[in-house]
Amino acid sequence: MKHLKLIALAFLANLIGGLREPFATANAETATGTHEVLSRRADGAHTYTHLLVKSGSDAFHATPAGASDYPIGVTTDAPDQAEDIFNVHPLNDGKRTRRMRCATALAADVDVYTAGNGFVQGEPGTAGTYYKVGRTVALAVQESSGNYIAEVAPCAPQKLTVIAAATGTAATDIAAIFTAIATPTLLKHA
């Protein structure tokens, strides 16, 4: 009888552990401490690797970052469908360079900022909110038309607000500047 109880207990422990497995794989809610690589579930398929990603539909999901989105890291994976698990390398670890995807050629020693669809770009000239994510260490290499890979020394994201050209109305221009500097930010005039 004792052996039967032990077998039943082992079976239940295995069953409960098996149910928890998918959640444990994606940096489960019980995982604490620091992580060099985060695991997230995809909100949808990604076309490319080396994209900037932002928090997704919840704390366990991520999706490619847009130009004005705060990026949480760079992915080295391209999930085929929603709910696939993929790796995210935080930007501020400072331990190594990261490959990042860009739509245009970038020279070495160029600050890079968020762009659409998880890409990075050189200093933006269009009014909007962006995040500086690092500096290139080498010339970007072209993979296909409008698709380059740049080696970047990452940094913690720093907000950049590009304000539109002056309107000539002092009250409007001052209001735009005060709105832009309401939070710690880098400020640039378009």
- DSSP-assigned beta bridge partners for residue 100: 150
The answer to the question of residue 102 being in a domain is: yes
The DSSP code sequence of 129-187 is EEEEEEEESS--EEEETTEEEEEEEEEEEEEEEEEPPP-S-HHHHHHHHHHHTSSS-EE
Q: What range defines the domain where residue 72 resides?
A: 34-189
The answer to the question of residue 158 being in a domain is: yes
Question: If 0-12 CB within 10 Å is exposed, 13-18 middle and 19+ buried, where does residue 85 land?
Answer: middle
- Give the global pTM: 0.74
pLDDT (tens digit, 9 = 90+) per residue, 21-80? 444 444 444 456 667 889 999 999 998 999 999 999 999 999 999 999 999 999 999 999
* Among candidate residues 171, 30, 103, 7, the one with its CA nearest the CA of residue 113: 103
Please report which confidence band the pLDDT of residue 163 belongs to, taking 50, 70 and 90 as the band edges. Answer: confident
CATH code of the domain covering residue 124: 2.40.300
Structural domain count, the chain: 1
The answer to the question of residue 147 being in a domain is: yes
Name residue, tokens 């670890």: 93
pLDDT (tens digit, 9 = 90+) per residue, 90-139? 998 677 999 999 999 999 999 999 999 999 999 998 989 999 999 999 99
Q: What is the predicted pLDDT for the residue at 21?
A: 40
The answer to the question of residue 45 being in a domain is: yes
The answer to the question of residue 17 being in a domain is: no
**Contact (Cβ atoms closer than 8 angstroms) between residue 72 and residue 61:** no
Q: What is the predicted pLDDT for the residue at 82?
A: 95
The Cα–Cα gap between 80 and 78 comes to 6
| pLDDT exceeds cutoff 60 at 143 | yes
Q: What is the predicted pLDDT for the residue at 169?
A: 76
The answer to the question of residue 3 being in a domain is: no
Please report which confidence band the pLDDT of residue 182 belongs to, taking 50, 70 and 90 as the band edges. Answer: low
